């Protein structure tokens, strides 16, 4: 058994690095990474000669290319099973490929919203897209990491780009504040994660997830304090990235301050990657043997996120903050899928992440447009009368909000149904009750936004027959943003009406830890 292992510390000590590099296995990450770097090169060579539309097109094509590269790999994995590559540090399985796809989708949406946003705000373009692609490469690396150190490297590539993106709106003080806050706290949380990795290494003697998994199966360790402490610290790091309570405090501030198209990616792609890492470590690696040790901790985070996310969202007056808190409560729901610690739970979490990416892209996409020049009109009052002046946009937003509330026939309903189903299957009925209660409470928040779009009369014209007109300059919908909203709308509805295909794919996207098969020299 040990002989089959990718590489053990002994191998490393003996300088046994005779592994072939399978470039095709990491093609999606490579495409994203090279696409980003190449864009930077092209921009420096043709400075000033490229239109901003080029950057968007490039980003969309690169992200699309990464998805395209993932498809043949997906078929390979489905036929021949999962495998490990790159000296056992990269796991190629349905799970990592599914997550790759979702991250790329999030990148595409962010790029489509960025296009109009940058023109409107009169900001310089290419760096935004470069950072976006690099960050996605980090996310994909993270999702397919079979080694805690690779996972950490992926996380940092993912995060550092986003720290900068959050601060990229050079004329908005809040944007820079958001970037700085995110950076300082993110670095802080990374330290916890790294510390956790060190503890796990201390407890098991390896950072390779496959080896850890085998180590735990072979050695009956009931009370390994070092390992447990390592898990707790890892949870802090992941908890920060997925914005689970009590590691969530940065979220509303950063979402509110950061440029809104960036938030679509931050709330979408970044969270997806973080959840992928979390599932890989907690469910797949530690799940079979250590589930009872980590479950109580994650349980606490899930309950807190569900409750606090729902309650805090209600009292907000800023729509971006509302959506931030609602994304916290979504994190609570996705944690249910993690907690189930079963194939069904993982599939439910993946399906939720897919739906969530569309919902969140759509919601923050609308917020991008409503923000108008300056990206500052984000109070509830700024949405008043939208139903009248922009009925299509209001209707689209309503669908996204209803989906987030979990109304039947939208993807959001299916997503909630699956995670609650998974948790019930695992016997945690109390948690299921809390989740349903949280869904009931947070429905009120979404209603508040809908009401202000359609019904609420502005205070000064309470007597008039007509509903209030939208205040401020008119809302313009750039073509690409409109396209993105349309796509998200179709996806959210389709996932609710015919969820079958997507759930099948999510069900096939199993995460496996397979040792690398050594090629005979």
Partner 1 sequence: MELVWLIPALPLLAFLILIPFGRKLSDPGAGWFATLLVGGSFAVSAAVYLELMSRPADDRVVHQVLFTWIPAGDFSVDIGFLADPVSITMALFITGIGALIHMYSVGYMKGDPKYSKFFTYLSLFVASMLVLVLADNLLLTFLGWEGVGACSYLLISFWFNEEANATAGKKAFVTNRIGDFGFMVGTFLLWMTIGTINYVDIPERLGGITELTATAIVLLFFLGATGKSAQLPLFVWLPDAMAGPTPVSALIHAATMVTSGIFLLTRLEPLLFQAPIAGEVIAWVGLATALVAALAAVAQNDIKKVLAYSTISQLGYMFLALGSGAIVAGMYHMITHAFFKALLFLGSGSIIRSMSHEQDMRLYGRLRKYLPITSITFILGWLAIAGIPPFSGFWSKDEVLAAAYSSENLGVLKWGIGILVALLTAFYMTRLVIMTFFGPKENWRDPEKLEEIGVASSFDDSDPSADAEAHHLEPSHTPKESPWTMTVPLVVLATLATVAGILNLPFADRFKSLEIWLEPVLTHSHEAPVATTLFILAGVAIVAAVLGVIAAYFVYQKQKIPAERIEKPALVHALYINDTYAEVVAGPGTAVFQGIADFDATMVDGAVNGVAKVTTDAGNGLKPLQSGLVRTYALTLSAGAVLLLGYVVMRMSF
Q: Please give the residues from 239 up to 258 whose contact with partner 1 meets the rule CB under 8 A.
A: 239-240, 246-247, 249-250, 252-253, 256-257
With contacts defined by CB under 8 A, name the span among 119-127, 272-280, 356-364, 450-458 that binds partner 1.
450-458
Q: How many residues bind partner 1 (CB under 8 A)?
A: 77
Backbone angles phi, psi at 385, to 5 degrees: 80, 5
Residue 437, interface with partner 1 (CB under 8 A)? yes
Could you tell me the smallest distance in angstroms from the CB atom of residue 191 to partner 1?
Answer: 10
Instruction: Provide, rounded to whole angstroms, the least separation between the CB of residue 227 and partner 1.
Output: 9
Q: Which stretch binds partner 1 (CB under 8 A): 41-49, 71-79, 272-280, 451-459?
A: 451-459
Would you tell me the crossing angle of helices 343-371 and 271-278 to the nearest 10 degrees? 160
CB of 377 to partner 1, least distance (A): 15
The yes or no reply on residue 508 touching partner 1 (CB under 8 A) is no
Give the residue from 393, 381, 380, 377 showing the smallest Cα distance to 473: 377
- 375 near partner 1, rule: CB under 8 A: no
3-state SS class at 318: strand
Positions in 481-500 near partner 1 (CB under 8 A):
497-500
φ and ψ of 376, to 5 deg: -110, -10
Query: CB count, 10 Å around CB of 220?
Result: 7
246 preceded by a cis bond (ω within 30 of 0) = yes
Q: Is 21 in the site for partner 1 (CB under 8 A)?
A: no
Q: Give the tokens for residue 223.
A: 């009370």
DSSP H stretches of helix in 243-378: 250-257, 260-265, 271-278, 287-314, 319-340, 343-371
Contact with partner 1 (CB under 8 A) among 188, 202, 205, 373 = 188
| Residues between 313 and 352 with contacts to partner 1, criterion CB under 8 A | 314-316, 318, 321
Q: Closest Cα partner for 158 from 36, 321, 261, 249?
A: 36
Which CB atom, from 23 or from 444, has the smaller least distance to partner 1?
444
Please report, to the nearest 10 degrees, the dihedral formed by the alpha carbons of residues 57, 63, 163, 196 taken in order. 180
In this complex, which beta carbon is closest to partner 1, that of residue 153 or of residue 232?
232
Q: Which is nearer to partner 1, 127 or 425 (CB)?
A: 425
| Residue 70 vs 228, nearer CB to partner 1 | 228
CB of 43 to partner 1, least distance (A): 26
Q: Between 28 and 179, whose beta carbon lies closer to partner 1?
A: 179
Figure out which of the listed residues 311, 380, 494, 514 binds partner 1, where binding follows CB under 8 A: 311
Distance CA 253, CA 166 (A): 11
**Choice between 60 and 453, CB closer to partner 1:** 453
- Is 3 exposed, middle or buried, given 0-12, 13-18 or 19+ CB atoms closer than 10 A? exposed
Show the tokens assigned to 507. 């069900």
Q: Which one of residues 454, 489, 492, 509 is an interface residue with partner 1 (CB under 8 A)?
A: 454
Alpha-carbon distances of 138 from 270, 280, 329, rounded to whole Å: 10, 16, 25
What minimum distance in Å lies between the beta carbon of 376 and partner 1? 11
Min CB(344)–partner 1 separation in Å: 8
In this chain, which of 40, 221, 417, 514 binds partner 1, going by CB under 8 A? 417
Nearest residue to 159 via CA among 176, 147, 142:
142
Task: Compare residues 225 and 520 and give the one whose CB is closer to partner 1.
Answer: 225
Q: Which of 61, 291, 297, 380 binds partner 1 (CB under 8 A)?
A: 297
Interaction of residue 211 with partner 1, rule CB under 8 A? no
Give the Cα-Cα-Cα angle 243, 202, 208 (nearest 5 degrees): 70
**Smaller CB separation from partner 1, 140 or 244:** 244
* Residue in 145, 233, 270, 511 binding partner 1, rule: CB under 8 A: 233
Contact between 503 and partner 1 (CB under 8 A)?
yes
- 455, 471, 476, 517: which one binds partner 1 (CB under 8 A): 455
The interface with partner 1 within residues 36-65 (CB under 8 A) comprises none
Whole-number minimum distance, CB 443 to partner 1, in Å?
6
CB-facing half-sphere around the CA of 135: CA atoms within 13 A: 31
221 interacts with partner 1 by CB under 8 A: no
Give the footprint of partner 1 on residues 161-180 (CB under 8 A).
173-174, 176-177, 180
Q: Are 90 and 84 in contact (CB under 8 A)?
A: yes
The pair phi, psi for residue 85, each rounded to 5°, is: -135, 175
Residues 187 and 508: their CA atoms lie apart, in Å, by 35
Comparing CA positions, the residue from 509, 321, 497 lying closest to residue 411 is 497
């Amino acid at each position: 058994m040990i002989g089959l292992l990718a590489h053990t510390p002994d191998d490393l000590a003996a300088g046994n690095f005779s592994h072939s590099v399978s470039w095709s296995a990491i093609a999606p990450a490579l495409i994203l990474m090279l696409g980003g770097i190449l864009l930077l090169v092209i921009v420096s060579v043709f400075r000033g000669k490229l239109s901003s539309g080029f950057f968007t097109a490039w980003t969309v094509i690169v992200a699309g290319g990464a998805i395209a590269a993932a498809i043949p790999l997906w078929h390979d994995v489905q036929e021949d099973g999962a495998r490990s590559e790159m000296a056992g540090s990269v796991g190629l399985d349905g799970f990592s490929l599914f997550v790759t796809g979702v991250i790329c989708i999030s990148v595409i949406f962010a790029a489509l919203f960025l296009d109009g946003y940058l023109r409107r705000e009169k900001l310089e373009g290419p760096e935004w897209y470069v950072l976006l692609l690099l960050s996605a490469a980090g996310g994909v690396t993270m999702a397919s990491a079979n080694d805690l150190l690779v996972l950490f490297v992926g996380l940092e590539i993912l995060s550092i780009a986003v720290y900068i993106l959050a601060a990229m709106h050079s004329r908005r003080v809040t944007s820079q504040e958001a970037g700085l806050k995110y950076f300082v706290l993110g670095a802080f949380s990374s330290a916890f994660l790294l510390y956790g990795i060190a503890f796990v290494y201390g407890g098991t003697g390896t950072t390779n997830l496959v080896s850890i998994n085998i180590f735990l199966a072979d050695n009956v360790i009931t009370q390994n304090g070092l390992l447990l402490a390592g898990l707790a610290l890892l949870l802090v790091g992941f908890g920060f990235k997925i914005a689970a309570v009590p590691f969530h405090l940065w979220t509303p501030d950063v979402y509110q301050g950061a440029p809104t198209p960036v938030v679509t990616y931050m709330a979408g792609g970044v969270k997806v990657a973080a959840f992928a890492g979390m599932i890989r470590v907690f469910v797949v690696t530690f799940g079979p043997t250590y589930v009872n040790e980590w479950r109580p901790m994650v349980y606490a985070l899930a309950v807190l996120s569900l409750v606090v996310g729902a309650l805090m969202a209600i009292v907000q007056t800023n729509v971006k903050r509302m959506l931030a808190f609602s994304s916290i409560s979504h994190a609570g729901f996705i944690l249910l899928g993690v907690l189930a610690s079963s194939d069904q739970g993982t599939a439910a979490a993946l399906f939720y992440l897919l739906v969530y990416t569309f919902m969140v892209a759509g919601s923050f996409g609308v917020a991008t447009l409503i923000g108008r020049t300056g990206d500052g009109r984000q109070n509830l009052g700024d949405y008043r009368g939208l139903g009248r002046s922009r009925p299509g946009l209001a209707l689209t937003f309503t669908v996204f909000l209803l989906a987030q509330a979990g109304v039947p026939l939208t993807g959001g309903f299916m997503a909630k149904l699956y995670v609650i189903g998974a948790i019930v299957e695992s016997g945690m009925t109390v948690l299921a009750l809390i989740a349903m209660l949280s869904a009931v409470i947070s429905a009120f928040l979404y209603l508040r936004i809908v009401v202000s779009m359609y019904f609420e009369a502005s205070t000064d014209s309470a007597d008039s027959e007509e509903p209030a007109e939208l205040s401020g300059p008119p809302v313009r919908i750039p073509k690409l943003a409109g396209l993105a909203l349309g796509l998200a709308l179709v996806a959210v509805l389709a996932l609710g009406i015919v969820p079958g295909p997507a759930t099948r794919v999510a069900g096939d996207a199993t995460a496996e830890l397979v040792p690398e098969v050594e090629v005979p020299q």
